[in-house]
Amino acid sequence: MGSGDGASDEYVGLEVLSNQAQSLVAQRHVGLCQLAQAVVLTPHDLRGALDLAKLAETRLRRLGAMLEADRAGELVAELTIRDRARTL
Amino acid sequence: MVHTSLVQDGRILRERYVLERELGQGGAGVVYHAFDLVDEREVAIRVIGDHPGRDLLEVGLRYEAKQVRGLEHPGLVPIFEFNRDGDLLFLVMPLLEGRTLRDLLLPGPLPIPLAAEIGRQVAEVLAHAHGEGVIHRDLKPENLNLSMVDGALHVRVMDFGLSPIADVQAAGEGSQAALSMGTPEYLAPEQVWGGDTDPRTDLYALGLLLYECIVGRPPFVGTGQAVLQAITEATPVRPAVLRTDLPRALDLLVVELLAKDPSRRPGDAGDVAKRLSLYADGSTAATLLIEPARSRGAWTLGGEADARTMLGKAIGRDRELRALDARLTTARSSRLQLVLLSGAIGMGKTTLLDELVLACQQRSIELLRTRADEDHGRLGPFEEVLTAGMARRPEAAGDLVEIAADLVEVFPALNREGLGELASRREPDPQLFAGLSAAAPRRRPRRGVRTEVTRELSPRERVDMLIVRAVEALVADGRPLALTIDDAHLCGETVELVELLFRRLPHSPLLIVVAYQDDGLPPNHALRRLERCLRAHPRCLRQRLGPIAPERYDRLLAQFLGSEQPELDLAESLHHQSGGRPLFARELVRAALESGLLIRREGSWYLDAALWPVPRSLRVQLAGTLNELEDGLVTALRTGSVLAVGSGGFELGHLAELHTRPRNLLVRQLEHAVNRGMLTEHREGGAVVYRFSSEVLRRVIHDDIHEAARRKLHRFCAARLRKIIRGEEDVARDDALFAHLLEAGELADARTWAVALAQRAAAEHRPLRALSKLSALLEVADSLPAVERAELYLASAELELMRKEHGGALSALQRLAATLDESDDSRLEQLGTRGAGLARTMGKRQLADRLLGLRPQDGHSAELELAAKVELAALRPVSSARSMSVGDNHFMHGELSRAREAYENARRRAKSERDLDEELRQLCNLSRVASKLGHYESALNYCREGLELVGSRRTVERVGLWAQAAETHCAAGFLDRAWGELQAGGADLETYPREPRTPERDAVAAALERSAGALFLARGEAEAAIEAYERCLALNAGQQRWTASSVRLHLAQARALAGDASGALRSLERAAKDKGAMGDRRGLARTYCLRVRIMRDLGMIEDASDILDAARDLVKVLDEPRLFALVHVEYGRHLLLGARVPEAGGAARRARDMASRAGAQAELARAEELLGLVALTEGRPEDARRHAGEAVTIADKLGMREVSIGGLLVMAEASPAGGRPELLARARSESEVLGNPFRELDVA
């Protein structure tokens, strides 16, 4: 991603982690990785972050991990507002 | 007073009651939500802190608690226990559901029948308690709990037995002490002046309760000292004065109860209950108890606040309310205002008047409310108004000395209201009454002339003038007065009197509101004349209430149903049915709730029927309106109601076709219906179309037609529509055709049509269009074959899912499942399979199994757990496994001392029979029991004894002893020694040839492998442990089921540690099956716990719920603190992940307390880790660090790396950024040693 704050490393690290979780069928961890990726991505790609946050929320909520799903939901709300503000 | 800092959440009283959270505070202490560790139930605990004279208080409370325990009455909240913990006195009571009377009173007064019912139930409780010599002495709305039991209101009186607190406080500093109790309004006069209290003190309090229920506030309110003075000196305003619809007998009863002198109050609470029972009816309680407090909100005085709160009840009437509000304000400045409030039946006129009553109450404006009717003639309403007015403003009598006798003559009811004495001083005008009853010439009053008339008045005019004078006297002191007359259309002559008041008293602070139905009012009716005359008068406001807009119905529904969200189209369908009339809407909702068709599912309201049921009250009301119509019109409307099925309207041409009457006559008749607000006329596509003002009206008219005639008409209409449609796409006509087919009973045709429509709707992604049709068809589809019904249910479910309405889809699938049971048709199986697919997408596995025709044991569903649970609960320990030895059986069920006894007996027997091998086996068993009991030294002694016994003899049982010694050392944490013993055992075993295999050799080899597995597991060497356990199982094959199931449990543990979640689940499944079959409930609970832990790693959080419930049920029947703690830790983690943080905290605390009491360090570490997580989630980082630190310390000591990692992560997250790297590095190194990929993920 070419940013100077190491976001790219973090993102890739999370991607590796997510794949690892995927291979272990650790669904909640996959959701948590997506949530973390959304956070890392936010300053660079708002829409992409929003998509990831939504995915994370849906996954976590479906699994019943409500606490973390709510966190993802908060991020979705925050990003949506920012996205709207930007579009307006 | 109690200092809350003394009683922190989580504190345990008498090592039994865990205080979980505060519920409320009062003069008598702080009430907590608590958990009783002994009886394992939730309770309420009132903690009473430091009080002056606490010793005396304790004696008093103990005595009262003993007395209250002797009382048995369903309306009385019992006291389980009174005790003290250090400085704190506390009372244990049941935790109640429902609301307090205070909650119910927040929005305002209650319906009178409900108030009487509450009073009746309280009086009955008091009668019982007084009979046993117990007095409450602190009865107030906060102490009454209201709930619905089997659909009936159930009132329970709380805080019996707390009177010593009141006594102690009252003994303090007289009335000042009374003030300190916080609720001086509810004190009896004798309590204020420090006199003796007796049962009649409670009756005074009952009077206060009734007063507040009826009026909305206690008789005396204000600041401390003033209230106390008023209680002892002032006479309360009679409730009937403030509530005009209060029956006189109830008014008198309340006044009697509130007598200052106790001897003047009723003598017995039982009598009071009887007197109240005549007026009591608790049927409205259900609505109020589920209704949120805000929905009965009233007007409040003040600019912005008005706009927000004045819309409490009369939803959709904002404009009208504001206009009324403005008129009320104007009237206060001595400018009489007249409001003519009209509207069709059910438009909400009475609701608006209710709002006005509340507005006046809050502004301290007195309001006199009455209604006109034909029976009481034109003076009837004024008799009521003047009687109530004179009661409230007796000083007005002073202005009426001259005409008092005449007034009493005309209105005898005034005789008892102050005017009686004045009237007796003078004879009434003998001509007055005679003239009145004769047909007096009617003359309209002359305008602009006040009372100084010069000409001779007719008797009727003189009576009118009496009324004007009386009303004038009521407002003579300038205090504003509001006067409302409902149903004024029933008596036009009353309206003439209103007009007279309007013209004669222009400068009075009076607001007169006349409400009436204007549909069908003849043009020469007095109200019509009044409307015409005062149309443009600045002091007159004409308000016509029309239908409420559809978009307001969401709020209306929310008001009826509470805070839960109604389903998306519920408001729309209610609007369609009620035609925008709030009264109809309310009645429909009430009927649907009462008949159980309006149900709450997954947080939203859902109508489980195609149509709203029409309540009888509404039918009677509408039928009454129809009776007033001429026969020809009724016939036309009936035919129209058939034609309008499905579309809500009918064309004039179509109606004319079916009628022989001339078209002009028909038009004239329909015009009359339009004028009466029953129909609306439209012009659509060149044709005149009439629509019914509400679907309910159409249905009432429609249902009134004889069934045979109705069906015939519908068949005719369907046939005609078919001819018109002929393959053309016309949504409206399609809908109408379907409705006609249904009504005509042509279900087969209707089904074909509905299925086609459903397919089209699904293809076009417009599910709503077909859903209502399917639902209507399914309601009458009982006669259709099961396959056809099943097809319809499946289509419904698919469409509901398409619009993401899971509740509706679930209901349809459940019905589909029920239909599948009816027949063995192979086509049904296919439908079931499709249904199961839908159920799976919704995550409903049990339902999917049912739809596939699987019995519970076929699938791995929660039903399996449930069935096992029920079976296990029924098992008696000794009978559970016939093949097991008695000792093993006791061991399995945790009866360790009995197991030891049985093994000792077996050992003695073996010794006497000189069977050395058997004796050695029993020594092994004894060592196992001792090890389980934590007596490691004794366990090792058994092994040593065995080895000495063996001496130099050659027996394979020696290996078993080595294995047992190793296991004991493992359990005690001496891993090196265990390793040495395993080596010794292994070497010994090698001296016995592997082939041919003998059961004895296999048994000891298996024991050796099991011990090795335990050692590897303790060392965290998961792979080695797995291999050892697998070897153990291979050696144990077909032998001991119990041992095998335990080994499988350990194997699962090892696999979970290695990160092989699916392998672990497989082992657990098998272990659970064996343990279930043998009745090993302890083992089963452990299996469940591990399963939940693994499922959590896999993210299967929701799926773990059922298993956790089963585990919790198991530990309830098992008395084992260690297991209790284990299960509750898992349960707490589950709750935490599900965002139920406070409950998770409660479970963690319970687990911690139980674990620390039992000395179970491993469980304690897990509980502390969870507490740390909870604290972290709740934003208490210091607590989180403390708990997690505790967990890490214990876990490090025990070598529990998983817990240690979890604790370190919590600590890292709760620590400032600077301290994190070190903690994370520790977690990472622990994780590397552990080698569990899931924990590695956590750390990463």
DSSP per-residue string spanning B400-436: GTTTHHHHHHH-GGGGGTTHHHHHHTSPPPHHHHHHH
Q: Residue B791: name the closest of B819, B822, B824, B749 by CA.
A: B819
pLDDT at B417: 53
Distance between CA B865 and CA B1116 in Å, rounded? 15
Chain pair A-B, CB pairs under 8 angstroms: 68
pLDDT at A35: 93
Number of H helices, E strands in chain B: 58, 20
Taking the CA of residue B842 and the nearest CA in chain A, the distance in Å comes to: 10
Token digits for B984?
Answer: 């010794």
User: What's the distance, CA A70 to chain centroid?
Assistant: 13
- The reply to whether A2 falls in a domain is no
User: What's the distance, CA B924 to chain centroid?
Assistant: 57
Distance between CA B844 and CA B848 in Å, rounded? 6
ipTM associated with this complex = 0.81
Nearest CA in chain A to B1099: A28
In sequence order, the β-bridge partners of residue B343 are B517, B545
C-beta atoms of B1099 and A70 within 8 A: no
Torsion sign (Cα): B1039, B1042, B1043, B1049: positive
Mean pLDDT of B702-723: 82
The tens digit of pLDDT for each residue in B584-619 reads 888 888 777 766 677 766 666 777 777 788 877 788
CB atoms within 10 A of CB B376: 17
Distance between CA B1244 and CA A14 in Å, rounded? 9
Percent of chain B with pLDDT over 90: 7
Residues of A with CB under 8 A from a CB of B: 13, 17, 20-21, 24-31, 62-70
Token digits for B950?
Answer: 């063996």
List the domains of chain B with CATH numbers.
4-94 (3.30.200.20), 99-261 (1.10.510.10), 316-545 (3.40.50.300), 550-599 (no CATH), 756-855 (1.25.40), 1120-1244 (1.25.40.10)
B859: pLDDT strictly greater than 60 = no
Distance between CA B981 and CA B648 in Å, rounded? 90
CB atoms within 10 A of CB A40: 23
Residue-wise over B478-515: b if at least 16 C-beta within 10 A, else e?
eebbbbbbbbbbbbbebbbbbbbbbbbbeebbbbbbbb
> With bands split at pLDDT 50, 70 and 90, how would you rate the model's confidence at B169?
low
Strand segments, DSSP code E, in B679-764 are 679-684, 687-692
Looking at per-residue confidence, does B1024 or B233 come out higher?
Answer: B1024
Mean pLDDT of B465-492: 83
Taking the CA of residue A77 and the nearest CA in chain B, the distance in Å comes to: 18
Residues B473 and B404 sit within 8 Å (Cβ to Cβ)? no
- The reply to whether A1 falls in a domain is no
Q: Residue B140: name the closest of B27, B10, B270, B260 by CA.
A: B27
Say which range, B76-85, B228-237, B392-401, B506-515, has the weakest mean pLDDT.
B392-401
Q: What is the mean pLDDT of chain B?
A: 78
Dmax over CA atoms of chain A, in Å, equals 43
* Chain A residue numbers touching B1137 (CB-CB < 8 A): 28, 64-68
Percent of chain B with pLDDT over 70: 83
Taking the CA of residue A69 and the nearest CA in chain B, the distance in Å comes to: 9
Looking at per-residue confidence, does B389 or B864 come out higher?
Answer: B389
The tens digit of pLDDT for each residue in B1123-1144 reads 889 999 999 999 998 888 889 9
C-beta atoms of B1098 and A27 within 8 A: yes
Tell me the CA distances in angstroms from B389 to B384, B500, B515, B1069, B1095, one per residue in order: 8, 18, 20, 80, 73
Taking the CA of residue A5 and the nearest CA in chain B, the distance in Å comes to: 18
Token digits for B854?
Answer: 């699987």
* Chain A residue numbers touching B1241 (CB-CB < 8 A): 17, 20-21, 24, 26, 29
Nearest CA in chain A to B1095: A26
Distance between CA B673 and CA B679 in Å, rounded? 6
pLDDT at B746: 80
B212: pLDDT strictly greater than 60 = yes
Region of A44 on the Ramachandran plot (φ > 0 left; ψ -120 to 50 alpha; else beta): alpha
Percent of chain A with pLDDT over 90: 31
How would DSSP label each residue in B1055-1094?
Answer: HHHHT-HHHHHHHHHHHHHHHHHHT-HHHHHHHHHHHHHH
Write the CB contacts of B871 (distance below 8 Å, at least 6 apart in sequence): B1076
Mean pLDDT of A75-80: 93
Write the CB contacts of B1032 (distance below 8 Å, at least 6 apart in sequence): B1006, B1009, B1010, B1013, B1047
Judged by a CB distance cut-off of 8 A, whether residue B1136 touches chain A is: yes
Region of B1133 on the Ramachandran plot (φ > 0 left; ψ -120 to 50 alpha; else beta): alpha
pLDDT at A78: 93
C-beta atoms of B1238 and A68 within 8 A: no
* Chain B residue numbers touching A31 (CB-CB < 8 A): 1099
* Chain A residue numbers touching B1133 (CB-CB < 8 A): none
Write the CB contacts of B381 (distance below 8 Å, at least 6 apart in sequence): B370, B371, B372, B485, B491, B494
The tens digit of pLDDT for each residue in B306-327 reads 333 333 456 667 777 777 777 7
Helix (H, G, I), strand (E, B) or coil at B88: strand
Angle, vertex CA B169, rays to CA B163 and CA B172, nearest 5: 145
Write out the residue range of the structural domain in which residue A14 sits. 7-87
Distance between CA B341 and CA B543 in Å, rounded? 5
B877: pLDDT strictly greater than 60 = no
The tens digit of pLDDT for each residue in B844-853 reads 777 777 777 6
B173: pLDDT strictly greater than 60 = no
Mean pLDDT of B456-470: 77
What does the H/E/C string look like for B316-341?
Answer: CCHHHHHHHHHHHHHHHCCCCEEEEE
Number of domains within chain A: 1
